[in-house]
Structure 1
Amino acid sequence: MKKKIITGSKLWSIAMITAMVTACSAPAATSSTANAAVSTTGTTKTVSVNEQTSVKYADLVTLDADDTNVSWSATDSTTIKLNGTTASITGSGAKAANGSVTISAAGTYVLSGKLTDGQIVVNVADKGTVHLVLNGATINDNDSAAIYIQKAGKAIITLEEGTENAVSDGKTYVYADATTDEPDAAIFSKADLTFNGTGKLTVTGNYNEGITSKDDLKIISGKINVKSADDGIKGKDMVAIQAGTITIESEGDGIKSTNDTDTSKGFVAIAGGTFNIQSGSDGIQAETALVTDGGTFNIVTGGGSANAPAKVEEGPFGGGGGGGWGGGTPPTDMGTPPDGEPPADSNADVDTSTTTTEEETTSAKALKAGVDLTVNGGTYTIDSMDDSLHSNNNVIVNEGKFSIESGDDGIHADQALTINGGTITIAKSYEGLEGAIITLNGGDIDVTASDDGVNAAGGEEETATAAADSTTQTKDTTATSNISVTETTGTTSTPDQTTQDSGRGGAPGGMPGGEAATNNELHINGGSLTVNAGGDGLDSNGSIYMTDGTVIVNGPTDNGNGALDYDGNFEMSGGYLVAAGSSGMAQATSEASTQNTIAMTFPETQKAGTLVHVEDSEGNNILTFAPAKDYQSVVVSSPDLKKDGSYVIYSGGTSTGKAVDGLYTDGTYSGGTKVVAFQSTSNVTWVNESGVTTANSGMGGPGGGRGQGGFGGGRNRTESGTTTDTTGTTGTTDTAK
């Protein structure tokens, strides 16, 4: 927290300017990443995605000769030797008074020595370029910025090769009057500011920020260490970093750009470098676009993922996830409501209103963009209290190596999330990948999530239609992305547990209390994806489309979630899919698929690591897989499956093949127990130990979500606990999480 003291005078004169210096021009920061346009008419949401070429550093940043100039000579420069509270000056354009140095003319100034309580002030009326060479200089000011670029066309700070330099301020600033709040950083510039050279600079911002520019801020090279009471490095119009080693320890954001009035500015662009950032808030934050072409990033935000607030998955009792119960009661293994209270007495009618409130918390994301986040390469080791990669609009990952531990989402886009390549390991997250439209075109992705592994949900606005016989209530929630999401939820009366309507299910397209399928989409067109999820493995509040690639899902062990969860269709036309998990909410691919699928439900839970093996009548291997967790259902879709093929499923045994993420290739399978032999009858064949069967009752339908058994229509529980399944309409959909 900065402390401000107002006084009527200061030992030196500080001229104030009333107009912002015009920033150097740069190409517009209009992102050409995947753009998701959302339009809403009535209760219908339409989302379109345009794939375009990604923006890069060079598209946003232009360097001139001054930015890269590190040369100087004693004959052409003014020498400033600092000595305690005084300074000796050789040359023109600068003068020392009252313990500080004021530079009033364009030119090159070479600083060395130590200033214990004073200020370097740049005040050039003609707005020329001032080149400051730190040649072994230590500068401290106890009650203001140590280096204050008050007026200039541009300021260049060169870190002389082989030197160590330090700049610091005090914890309390003295201002002329109550209307003044600048400067507020150890190095503060109202003009464009560039750092270059190969020397070392240590900046300590005890009052507020470390380095601030009210225009462009560029770092070409150098070793810069910043410790700050608030933000580490801040540029209003841009922060552009070409190379160097940057270490930041900040109570606020690590690196940020803040212009929120000009869409062509307010961006952060990084070509390369090494970044070690520990921040109390966001690691790197751009008001508009954030672009990284390369570099090595080690980022810890908010104390890391272990410091994240506890999260509770929204479920049937909380108005999310499963929605209402239709004609049957909730299953006994669905747990208690999020607040820990048991469900209400089932013999009593329920007619309650739900109010959702969100506490405002500190944003502690690692990479955060107000508009688009584009990663073209680099190596990222991230431990973030909040999302690791986040955009209020779109995220596109073209290349890069990521090791992520997140207290919230691994990678989150309010609109389109597109991954074209790279190696992404999300070892810890609440939800792994989340966006309104998710497109996976390539890359090697490994996701571990306590809730959903991949979640296509959210977007600009969502509406839903509750069942015709339910009352309607509106719940307004404010997302952290500043996008308002409006959900319509319904309330129903819980039927008497002993005499339920055996045939009544949810409304078409979603059961009472649930939502109709949205236009959220998950597209998988290539690459490899491995998911280990405590909640749903692949979850779409709309549809899933898979054309290529390999997807392995180790889904939930509880029956309140499914390895696959979609509210529209899952159209499978290519690639290889295996999804193992619990059976209560199990879904397979849709009948609209052109590639065939087998969905197997085992009579009892199988232990983690127990092989499931599928082969055709000629002994050809279709699947040999060792799920990472206990499971009772397995879905496999492969180009090798035929609509009228004959297959045998085995459990247990061993394989001599090589396993990658539990999926075996090559080798010989042996020693298993035959579970069932069957003839597939359609492009989606459901089987159990008795042979071909039908899909779980109520597990989805045209435009609807899953309604497990009696939830959507017909699992009727009597007092004695026996269960009778009848055919009903579809039931439940998941709300956006």
Structure 2
Amino acid sequence: MDKYITGSKVGILLLCALLMSACSTNSTTTQSEAAGTAAASATTITQHGAVTGVQLASAKLSDLVTFDEEDSNTTWTADQSTEIALAGTSALVDGTGAESKDGSVTITAAGTYVLSGKLSDGQIVVNNQDEGTVHLVLNGVNITNSDSAAIDIKEAGKVIITLEDGTENSVSDGATYVYADETTDEPSAAIFSKADLTINGTGKLSVYANYNDGITSKDDLKIMGGTIEIKAADDGIVGKDLVAVQDGNISITAEGDGMKSTNDTETDKGFIAIAAGTFDITAGNDGIQAETSLVIDGGTYTLVTGGGNEKGEVKTGDQGQGMGMRGGRGQGTGDQAPGTTGTTGTSTSETKPETMPETKPEIPTTEASTTATTTESETPSTKGLKAGGDISLNNGTFTIDSADDAVHSNSNIAIADGEFNIKTGDDGIHADALVVISGGKIDITKSYEGIEGANIEISGGEAHVVASDDGVNVAGGNDEATVGGGPQEQDQFSDSASNMLTISGGTLTVDASGDGLDSNGSITMSGGTVIVNGPTNSGNGALDFDGSFEQSGGTLVAAGSSGMAQAPSDTSSQHAVSMTFPQTQEAGTLVHLEDSEGNSILTFAPSKSYQTVVISSPDLKDGGSYTLYSGGTSTGSEANGLYTDGEYTGGTKVVAFEITSSVTWLNESGVTTANTNQGPGGGGGGNRRP
């Protein structure tokens, strides 16, 4: 697991053990000492699970990249610049530092160059040997090249492309490139740079990349603003060392990846950092893919990858098998419901498109791209947000429709804020190591598994999860997916006592056909509200853990089938009640629990049919007397099936009881004991305590 820990700045920030004494460094602590401390904490997390006191902090864009004054420079004057007037197959150069010959314009000196007009079959070449800054102002240009890049930056210290205010600019290349010899494969994009490249301004740029990529930099690529529309035969925007976006309105239709970074040899490079902007990306492969780390501070994102969730791989989970594809129930010590008759249930070679016209065409679907292959694998990666290292999402609005995982990290994910609307053919949020959710609003309306990681910590925010298999799945290992392509074998997780689901705050609502909360290790809950609906088949449980479920706070209500039902462990400091009904209850039938004085403890309307309900609340007291009702109505305010305030009436009394232990097992006859035998569906019997 250590291979997933990077030495990058974002990795250091994400993996700092904030509450451990090692991170209480004074002002004399060196940067290398701090990095060493963070790396040690990272190893502890990956090897030993969610250690008490270890937290995942969110990195910011400013921790990774700096936008300097030159990046924002859009000013120019006619008397201090060279004017290049494009005229069909030639160009008129007024000033120094540039030469027009045979339909191409070559810039050989630092300075400012203002381009206008149309070049029907030519090229803008930057070859500045003195390593100075070349400032290209696109002042209403249309540049087409039939057999190479439209803009080819061979050498420069830095190139800044300004999209002049109020102008529309377009560049396009040919469907095939002619190279000097067989050993050359550059340029490879309609706008290609071997130097640091910055794009700024408020104008518009349309890029039609018929051969390969839209905009590529072999060094740093920064976008400060403007409206950029790209249609690419492969990737839309590529930066080797980094892609950093301060703002802009970016629209990409790509047969490959939408935006990507590619440096996989230097851990402090190969990242993507976005401060703000609007992003509309339709990609045949991944939407936004960072080779190392991905940090997003804000912006609005609409991502469709691999043709959308409907194109996802058809999977079957642990539907009634006890042990499914992703690690089902093992030898556990958690409490299991009394055995009753439960409900039943069913268990690269890439194709290049035709030459693109100079005017922007209609946006095509990417359905055909889902059949494309890579040299390493017949299955392309089709994730929404993806990183080989850590992902830190600090804010933003995300609408993701992905064939594969919507948010995927080969390391850790930290979500601090933002709004997420997710439909996916696989996982909603997946990290090979740690997922931390401390804020935001997450709405996963379709997934195979909703939230998955080796360890998961939820301390804030509001999450709604709909999953065809497990809603929240904690398991050790990784899914074998690579960043730039390669094997796509799914989620070969293993059981481990170190795996932990930790809930200390926020609201989590789960609708699962598999297990609701599934931990191949243990669960701890000290705060927050957790609502689980489902499963309806007895081969799964609303709660499923192999170790223990220690609850000391918060409100828990979990309704589902009875065959594999579990409740919090009897070592919990907060009391819980587990009710098993003699028959399956219809969806929407209220469950109401009140004390002997008529005070409501909880009123809940499960959204699916159910036979068991587990309730844990701080209002449940040792020695208290309680009555459980079924049916009826409530005048209270309803949210996610849970009612607050109002008056409950019309229900049928099911059972009255007293609490004398941490977990009270109930049926219609009164207090009973947990069954030490496994229910239908197999797995996990033995060490279940009554």
Do they fold alike, i.e. is TM over 0.5?
yes
The DSSP-based 3-state class of the residue aligned with 1:306 is helix
Partners in 2 of 1:369 and 1:183 — Cα distance? 26
1:222 and 2:226 aligned = yes
Do the aligned residues in 2 keep the contact of 1:123 with 1:152 (CA within 8 Å)?
A: yes
Give the letter for the 1:197 counterpart.
G
User: Residues 360-394 of structure 1: CA distance to partner in whole angstroms, max 9, x if unpaired?
Assistant: 52111111111000001011111111111111000
Partners in 1 of 2:643 and 2:343 — Cα distance? 32
Shift of 1:51: 1.8
Give the letter for the 1:434 counterpart.
E
1:450 and 2:468 aligned = yes
Residues 333 and 367 from structure 1, CA distance in 2 versus in 1: closer, same or farther, beyond 3 angstroms? same
What corresponds to 1:647 in structure 2?
A: 626
What corresponds to 2:584 in structure 1?
A: 605
Partners in 1 of 2:522 and 2:316 — Cα distance? 25
1:236 and 2:215 aligned = no
Alignment of 1:158-307 (within 5 A): 158-307=162-311
Partners in 2 of 1:330 and 1:384 — Cα distance? 40
**Aligned pair count?**
618
Partners in 1 of 2:296 and 2:569 — Cα distance? 39
State, as a whole percentage, how many aligned pairs show the same letter: 62
The DSSP-based 3-state class of the residue aligned with 1:149 is strand
What corresponds to 1:364 in structure 2?
A: 382
User: Residues 579-609 of structure 1: CA distance to partner in whole angstroms, max 9, x if unpaired?
Assistant: 0000110000001110000000000000000
Partners in 2 of 1:39 and 1:154 — Cα distance? 41
What corresponds to 1:438 in structure 2?
A: 456
User: Residues 504-563 of structure 1: CA distance to partner in whole angstroms, max 9, x if unpaired?
Assistant: xxxxxxxxxxx8653111000101111111111111000000000111110200000000
Partners in 2 of 1:711 and 1:330 — Cα distance? 14
From 404, 413, 418, the equivalent of 1:395 is: 413
Alignment of 1:327-346 (within 5 A): none
Do the aligned residues in 2 keep the contact of 1:29 with 1:263 (CA within 8 Å)?
A: no
Partners in 2 of 1:190 and 1:395 — Cα distance? 32
Shift of 1:30: 3.7
Do the aligned residues in 2 keep the contact of 1:168 with 1:205 (CA within 8 Å)?
A: yes
1:692 and 2:663 aligned = no
User: Residues 306-351 of structure 1: CA distance to partner in whole angstroms, max 9, x if unpaired?
Assistant: 11110111434767525799xxx999977777xxxxxxxxxxxxxx
Give the letter for the 1:57 counterpart.
L
Residues 671 and 331 from structure 1, CA distance in 2 versus in 1: closer, same or farther, beyond 3 angstroms? closer
Q: Which moved more, 1:659-668 or 1:188-197?
A: 659-668
Give the letter for the 2:149 counterpart.
A
Shift of 1:65: 2.2
From 644, 648, 656, the equivalent of 1:677 is: 656
Residues 646 and 577 from structure 1, CA distance in 2 versus in 1: closer, same or farther, beyond 3 angstroms? same
From 83, 89, 95, the equivalent of 1:91 is: 95
Do the aligned residues in 2 keep the contact of 1:38 with 1:459 (CA within 8 Å)?
A: no
Partners in 1 of 2:674 and 2:221 — Cα distance? 60
Shift of 1:34: 4.0
What corresponds to 2:542 in structure 1?
A: 563
The DSSP-based 3-state class of the residue aligned with 1:173 is coil
Do the aligned residues in 2 keep the contact of 1:545 with 1:570 (CA within 8 Å)?
A: yes
Partners in 2 of 1:679 and 1:517 — Cα distance? 36
Residues 436 and 185 from structure 1, CA distance in 2 versus in 1: closer, same or farther, beyond 3 angstroms? same
User: Residues 268-303 of structure 1: CA distance to partner in whole angstroms, max 9, x if unpaired?
Assistant: 000000100001111111011100000011111111
Partners in 2 of 1:114 and 1:242 — Cα distance? 30
Shift of 1:33: 1.5
From 376, 386, 395, the equivalent of 2:404 is: 386
What corresponds to 1:143 in structure 2?
A: 147
What corresponds to 1:708 in structure 2?
A: 679
Alignment of 1:709-728 (within 5 A): 711=682
Partners in 2 of 1:331 and 1:359 — Cα distance? 45
User: Residues 374-418 of structure 1: CA distance to partner in whole angstroms, max 9, x if unpaired?
Assistant: 001011111111111111000000110111111111111110000
Residues 196 and 709 from structure 1, CA distance in 2 versus in 1: closer, same or farther, beyond 3 angstroms? closer
What corresponds to 1:32 in structure 2?
A: 13
Do the aligned residues in 2 keep the contact of 1:290 with 1:369 (CA within 8 Å)?
A: yes
Shift of 1:27: 8.7
What corresponds to 1:622 in structure 2?
A: 601
Partners in 2 of 1:317 and 1:542 — Cα distance? 14
Q: Which moved more, 1:260-269 or 1:515-524?
A: 515-524
Shift of 1:178: 1.0
Do the aligned residues in 2 keep the contact of 1:298 with 1:380 (CA within 8 Å)?
A: yes
Shift of 1:359: 7.3
Give the letter for the 2:571 counterpart.
A
Shift of 1:730: 3.3
Give the letter for the 1:202 counterpart.
S
Partners in 2 of 1:34 and 1:444 — Cα distance? 23
From 499, 509, 516, the equivalent of 1:520 is: 499
Query: 5+ residue gaps in structure 1?
Result: 1-25, 338-357, 461-476, 489-514, 699-706, 714-727, 733-737
Partners in 2 of 1:330 and 1:171 — Cα distance? 66
Residues 260 and 111 from structure 1, CA distance in 2 versus in 1: closer, same or farther, beyond 3 angstroms? same
Do the aligned residues in 2 keep the contact of 1:524 with 1:549 (CA within 8 Å)?
A: yes
Residues 625 and 159 from structure 1, CA distance in 2 versus in 1: closer, same or farther, beyond 3 angstroms? same
Higher Cα Rg, which structure: 1
1:544 and 2:523 aligned = yes
Query: 5+ residue gaps in structure 2?
Result: 1-6, 17-40, 333-338, 348-375
What corresponds to 1:348 in structure 2?
A: none
Partners in 2 of 1:639 and 1:221 — Cα distance? 51
Do the aligned residues in 1 keep the contact of 2:383 with 2:405 (CA within 8 Å)?
A: yes
1:61 and 2:65 aligned = yes
Do the aligned residues in 1 keep the contact of 2:343 with 2:584 (CA within 8 Å)?
A: no
1:321 and 2:293 aligned = no
Shift of 1:676: 0.9
Shift of 1:459: 2.9
Partners in 2 of 1:486 and 1:134 — Cα distance? 48
Give the letter for the 2:625 counterpart.
S
User: Residues 131-171 of structure 1: CA distance to partner in whole angstroms, max 9, x if unpaired?
Assistant: 00000001010100000000000000000000000011010
The DSSP-based 3-state class of the residue aligned with 1:166 is strand
Give the letter for the 2:640 counterpart.
D
Do the aligned residues in 2 keep the contact of 1:708 with 1:731 (CA within 8 Å)?
A: no
Partners in 2 of 1:623 and 1:189 — Cα distance? 62
The DSSP-based 3-state class of the residue aligned with 1:639 is coil
Do the aligned residues in 2 keep the contact of 1:458 with 1:485 (CA within 8 Å)?
A: no
1:125 and 2:143 aligned = no
What corresponds to 2:355 in structure 1?
A: none
Give the letter for the 1:708 counterpart.
G
Residues 571 and 359 from structure 1, CA distance in 2 versus in 1: closer, same or farther, beyond 3 angstroms? farther
The DSSP-based 3-state class of the residue aligned with 2:620 is coil
Q: Which moved more, 1:622-631 or 1:26-35?
A: 26-35
Do the aligned residues in 2 keep the contact of 1:712 with 1:731 (CA within 8 Å)?
A: no
Give the letter for the 1:390 counterpart.
H
User: Residues 226-267 of structure 1: CA distance to partner in whole angstroms, max 9, x if unpaired?
Assistant: 110000000000000000100000001101111001111000
From 376, 388, 391, the equivalent of 2:394 is: 376
Partners in 2 of 1:150 and 1:551 — Cα distance? 57
Do the aligned residues in 1 keep the contact of 2:163 with 2:204 (CA within 8 Å)?
A: yes
The DSSP-based 3-state class of the residue aligned with 2:178 is strand
Do the aligned residues in 2 keep the contact of 1:330 with 1:711 (CA within 8 Å)?
A: no
Give the letter for the 2:219 counterpart.
D
The DSSP-based 3-state class of the residue aligned with 1:300 is strand
1:595 and 2:569 aligned = no
Do the aligned residues in 2 keep the contact of 1:591 with 1:683 (CA within 8 Å)?
A: yes
User: Residues 164-199 of structure 1: CA distance to partner in whole angstroms, max 9, x if unpaired?
Assistant: 000110101001111110001000000000000000
Partners in 2 of 1:412 and 1:516 — Cα distance? 17
Partners in 1 of 2:135 and 2:172 — Cα distance? 20
Partners in 1 of 2:87 and 2:571 — Cα distance? 80
Kindly report the root-mean-square deviation, in angstroms, between the aligned alpha carbons of the 2 structures. Answer: 2.7
From 721, 726, 730, the equivalent of 2:687 is: 730
What corresponds to 1:18 in structure 2?
A: none
